[in-house]
C-alpha cells in the first residue's frame, strides 16, 4: 500500500507482535530526540495553564511528565496503572482500526515510537510520541476520561459489524482529538490534537473564526472534519461525566442507522437545533481557500 505517511504498514512489521506492539527501546532514543521532546514540552507547558482542562493539568503532575526527555514507559506506566489501570504501549506507527479499538478496550494506549524533526516542529500529520504521550496520556490519568476511552474502544469493536467507522471516527476526532470543555474559568481544551499544538492551543480558544457548538452525540457523528489545518468547528462538553454517560447510555446501533440515512453535515455549517456558543466568522478558512 502506498501512503503519504511513513509509519503506516499493512501487516505488523518485523519485530512487532501480533497486536502490533513493539519494545519502546527507550535507550535507543538519541540526545537530539530527547532534546526535541524537551523543546516541545517546555513550549506547551508554558502556555497551557489557563487554557488546558483541569484534568489534563492534573495528569501532567500525576504522571510526572515534567521529567526531561522522552518518557520511559516503564516509569510512566507504573504511575498510570496506579491511577486508572491504563498503560502506554509502543507501536511502529498507525495501526488497523480493530487493533486500535482492542487496545483501548483493554486499557492500552498505542503510541508511535518516533518523534518529529525540527522541520516538523509545528505540524505533522502522523501522530508521534509527543502527540500521543503528551497530548493523550495526561487525560488517561483521569478516571472518568479513562472509562470513556474504554467505552469508546468497546464501541469501536462493535461498530465493525455496522459499517460505521466513519461515524465513530468523527466522535473521536471532535472529542479525544479536538474537544473543548466548559469549566468555571470558561472554555478549556482537552483534545490531544489541540494541547499538543502550540498554534491550535491559541486558535481554538482565542480566534473569532471557528464555530464552538455544544456537544450533541448524533450531530457530532454526522459532522465532517479536516485533518490538514485548524478546525472550523469545536464541540464543547459540559463535563467529562457528560461525555462518559452519553456514550455508555446510548444504543449506537439505531443511531448508526439513523445517521446513515442522512447526509453528512458539511464543515462549518450551523444547524437550527445547534447550541451555539460562538458563531465563527470562518475568516481563517476563507483566507486559506
CATH number, domain with residue 199: 1.10.800.10
Q: Produce one character per residue of 19-29: b if its CB has 16 or more CB atoms within 10 Å, e if not.
A: ebbbebebeeb
| pLDDT at res. 5 | 37
Name the strand (E) or helix (H) holding 180.
strand 180-183
* Cβ(279)–Cβ(227) below 8 Å: no
Res. 8 pLDDT band, cuts 50 70 90? low
Q: Taking 70 as the threshold, does the pLDDT of residue 191 lie above it?
A: yes
Higher pLDDT, 228 or 208: 208
User: How many domains are there within the chain?
Assistant: 1
- Please compute the mean of the pLDDT values over residues 146-172 and round it to a whole number: 95
Residue 11 lies in a domain: no
Residue 283 lies in a domain: yes
Name the strand (E) or helix (H) holding 234.
strand 233-237
Residue 191 lies in a domain: yes
Tell me the average pLDDT of the chain.
94
- Please compute the mean of the pLDDT values over residues 42-60 and round it to a whole number: 96
Residue 16 lies in a domain: no
- Please compute the mean of the pLDDT values over residues 8-35 and round it to a whole number: 91
Owning domain of residue 192 = 26-288
- Please compute the mean of the pLDDT values over residues 174-179 and round it to a whole number: 98
Nearest Cα neighbor of 37 from 139, 225, 45 is 45
Res. 4 pLDDT band, cuts 50 70 90? very low
CA geometry: angle 138, 50, 173, nearest 5 deg: 50
Length of the chain: 289
Query: Using one digit for the tens of pLDDT, what is the confidence trace for 193-205?
Result: 999 999 999 999 9
Residue 54 lies in a domain: yes
- Please compute the mean of the pLDDT values over residues 115-119 and round it to a whole number: 89
Higher pLDDT, 5 or 97: 97
* Cβ(141)–Cβ(64) below 8 Å: no
Residue 2 lies in a domain: no
Residue 19 lies in a domain: no
What percent of the chain is modeled with pLDDT above 90? 87
| pLDDT at res. 142 | 98
Q: Taking 90 as the threshold, does the pLDDT of residue 1 lie above it?
A: no
Residue 232 lies in a domain: yes
Res. 9 pLDDT band, cuts 50 70 90? low
Q: Taking 70 as the threshold, does the pLDDT of residue 162 lie above it?
A: yes
Compute the distance between CA of residue 166 and CA of residue 143 in angstroms, rounded to an integer. 27
Grid coordinates representing 277 are: 456558543
Which backbone phi and psi does 91 adopt, to 5 degrees?
Answer: -135, 160
143-159 and 165-172 are packed helices; what angle lies between their axes, rounded to 10 degrees? 160
Q: How does strand 211-214 pair with strand 186-189? A: unpaired
Residues 6+ apart with CB under 8 A from 274: 213, 214, 216, 219
- Please compute the mean of the pLDDT values over residues 230-252 and round it to a whole number: 97
Amino acid at each position: 500500500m502506498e501512503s503519504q505517511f511513513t509509519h503506516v504498514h499493512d501487516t505488523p512489521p518485523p519485530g512487532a507482535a501480533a497486536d502490533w506492539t513493539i519494545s519502546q527501546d527507550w535507550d535507543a532514543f538519541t540526545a537530539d530526540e530527547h532534546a526535541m521532546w524537551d523543546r516541545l514540552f517546555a513550549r506547551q507547558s508554558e502556555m497551557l495553564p489557563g487554557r488546558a482542562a483541569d484534568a489534563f493539568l492534573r495528569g501532567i503532575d500525576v504522571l510526572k511528565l515534567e521529567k526531561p526527555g522522552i518518557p520511559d514507559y516503564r516509569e510512566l506506566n507504573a504511575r498510570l496503572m496506579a491511577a486508572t489501570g491504563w498503560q502506554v504501549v509502543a507501536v511502529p506507527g498507525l495501526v488497523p482500526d480493530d487493533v486500535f479499538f482492542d487496545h483501548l478496550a483493554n486499557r492500552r494506549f498505542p503510541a508511535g515510537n518516533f518523534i518529529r524533526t525540527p522541520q516538523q516542529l509545528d505540524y505533522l500529520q502522523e501522530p508521534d510520541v509527543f502527540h500521543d504521550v503528551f497530548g493523550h496520556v495526561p487525560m488517561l490519568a483521569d478516571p472518568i476520561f479513562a472509562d470513556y476511552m474504554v467505552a469508546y474502544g468497546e464501541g469501536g469493536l462493535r461498530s465493525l459489524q455496522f459499517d460505521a467507522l466513519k461515524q465513530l471516527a468523527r466522535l473521536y476526532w471532535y472529542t479525544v482529538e479536538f474537544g473543548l470543555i466548559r469549566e468555571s474559568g470558561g472554555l478549556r481544551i482537552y483534545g490531544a490534537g489541540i494541547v499538543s499544538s502550540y498554534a491550535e492551543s491559541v486558535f481554538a480558544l482565542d480566534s473569532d473564526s471557528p464555530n464552538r457548538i455544544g456537544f450533541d452525540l448524533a450531530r457530532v457523528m454526522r459532522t465532517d472534519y479536516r485533518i490538514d489545518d485548524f478546525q472550523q468547528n469545536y464541540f464543547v462538553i459540559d463535563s467529562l461525566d457528560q461525555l462518559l454517560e452519553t456514550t455508555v447510555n446510548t444504543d449506537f446501533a439505531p443511531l448508526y442507522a439513523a445517521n446513515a440515512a442522512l447526509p453528512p453535515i458539511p464543515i462549518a455549517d450551523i444547524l437550527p437545533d445547534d447550541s451555539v456558543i460562538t458563531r465563527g466568522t470562518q475568516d481563517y478558512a476563507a483566507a486559506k481557500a
